[in-house]
Amino acid sequence: MSLKLFLLNAFGGIKATSKIESEKESLWNDYQVFSQVEQSAELKEFLILEEQVSTESFKKHKAELKALKFKGSPEDRQLKQFEKLKRNKKLQRYYQTAGSADLKRYERLKEGTELDRYFELEKLVQEGLNKSDEKAKELQAEYKRLKSAEPVLFFHRYPKSAAFKNYLRMQHSEEKRSFEDLKDVVESDDFKKQKAYLEDPKKWEKTPEFEAEKRYLELKNKTEIILYQKYKNSTALDFFKKWNIVFEDRFDAGVLDHSKWKPLNYWAAKTIGKNFSPAGDLQAFTEGKNTHLKGARLQIQVKKEKQNTLVWNPVLGFVENEMNYSSDTLTTGGLFESQYGILEAKIKYNPEKSCQDVFYLAGEDNSVRVNLFENGAKSQFGLSKTESGKLHEEAFSLSGLSAGKLYIFTMEWNKEKISWKVNDKELFAIQNTVPDYPMFINLASLVISESNALPHNFEVDWVRFYQKRKS
């Protein structure tokens, strides 16, 4: 047993498969949205608007308009001053007098000819009349009569009135000038328009800038833009930005996808065109009859049953033989291969000592295998190499995992290193003898000793292969 793996598994050093899968699925979905948004016209519009509404001039203009009110404005002060002058008693009396019949009568008498005879006689009297002269006496009597007449009495009395004196004082006063100037201002269309503008509580809402801000906020609150904002300065999506899925099977189609998998050993197909069993194996490969897709999961089933197949004999070559067990093998050889990348799969850890489940990469000559997962008589992953008929292995034991549970097994391969992980926890790595040629995926379940503990299922939930994105 791998003590390291046992301790990690027992004390939470390996995260739960469901949690990892959920987190990665969520990030993948977010990345899809992020990528779409990143190229969208809406984001371009949003970023332009964001730059606009974030400027100090925009904020200042908005604040100024929001703070702009009629109360306390120059227009408000002008109107208050006008109203104050409008209440001025002296000005009120002035305008009352200015429009009065008495003033009009006085001015008419002053400017007209109605009192000319009176003024003529007054002048003669003032110059002195000969009181013994009959004609003079007549003029004196006429003068006295006219002087006591109501028009003359009014003409002499009215200028002494308080109303007329106030009229004269206010006629050229600063108060009157200010009042009339302000009256022209506050009764003008421009003043009324400005007053209505200043009193409008929605003047900001009527600007082009408000429409820009409204559109900005509308875009900002869109789910896709919120997601973009969340990740634009984050490293959370870096994996998907760096790596691209080039091969994936979720096994949810109900039948095996033959554009991805062949139920035929790659090297058997290259030689005799059908499956055969290597010397020492006890199973016959059925070319797909033991491969099932159930509940969106791949099952390679090992059964105890009679099955004829060819067996490779180093001396006699291919010999037909009856096997007591049946199984299957799958390969992407001829359909998909890659040089370097990340291979990961969600696999059920279900060791059966009489069987050996294998999930590995191999190249054309099959001398080197990069084992993502081996389970059964040996539970491990690592690198195996055959030289001069001898098998050499660099491997890490998986026997500390919990039987019956699903784990995500990951292998990252580049030209300097291969590393292996279980549920994102790196457990093993090699830096020597790294394959530098294209390899393809292979799965099989082998029977290596007699067993009554069958059927046995080699179960895989999904498979993915990533390659680095081209910059």
Secondary structure, 3-state, the chain: CCHHHHHHHHCCCCCCHHHHHHHHHHHHHHHHHHHHHHCCHHHHHHHHHHHHHCCHHHHHHHHHHHHCCCCCCHHHHHHHHHHHHHCCHHHHHHHHHHCCHHHHHHHHHHHCCCCHHHHHHHHHHHHCCCCCCHHHHHHHHHHHHHHCCHHHHHHHHHHHCHHHHHHHHHHCCHHHHHHHHHHHHHCCHHHHHHHHHHHCCCCHHHCHHHHHHHHHHHHHCCHHHHHHHHHCCCCCCHHHHHEEEEEEECCCCCCCCCCCCECCCHHHHHHCCCCEECCCCCEEECCCCCEEECCCCEEEEEEEEEEEEEEEECCCEEEEEEEEEEECEEECCCCCCECCEEEEEEEEECCCCCEEEEEEEECCCCCEEEEEEEEECCCEEEEEEEECCEEEEEEEECCCCCCCEEEEEEEEECCCCEEEEECCEEEEEECCCCCCCCEEEEEEEEECCCCCCCCEEEEEEEEEEEEECCC
pLDDT beyond 90 at 4: no
Share of the chain above pLDDT 90, in %: 84
CATH 2.60.120.200 residue window(s) in the chain: 246-468
For residue 35, name the pLDDT band (cuts at 50, 70, 90).
very high
pLDDT beyond 80 at 270: yes
pLDDT tens sequence across 113-154: 999 999 998 888 888 877 678 888 888 888 899 999 999 999
pLDDT beyond 80 at 11: no
Of 6 and 191, the structure prediction assigns the larger pLDDT to 191
pLDDT for residue 182: 96
pLDDT beyond 70 at 12: no
pLDDT for residue 164: 95
pLDDT for residue 278: 84
pLDDT tens sequence across 278-302: 888 899 999 999 999 999 999 999 9
For residue 6, name the pLDDT band (cuts at 50, 70, 90).
low
Architecture of the domain made up of 246-468: Sandwich (2.60)
Instruction: Name the pTM for this structure.
Output: 0.74
**Among 4-8, 158-162, 396-400, the least confident range:** 4-8
pLDDT for residue 455: 95
Mean predicted lDDT score pLDDT of the chain: 93
pLDDT beyond 60 at 196: yes
pLDDT beyond 90 at 463: yes
pLDDT beyond 80 at 8: no
pLDDT beyond 60 at 254: yes
For residue 316, name the pLDDT band (cuts at 50, 70, 90).
confident
pLDDT tens sequence across 86-101: 999 999 999 999 999 9
pLDDT beyond 70 at 29: yes
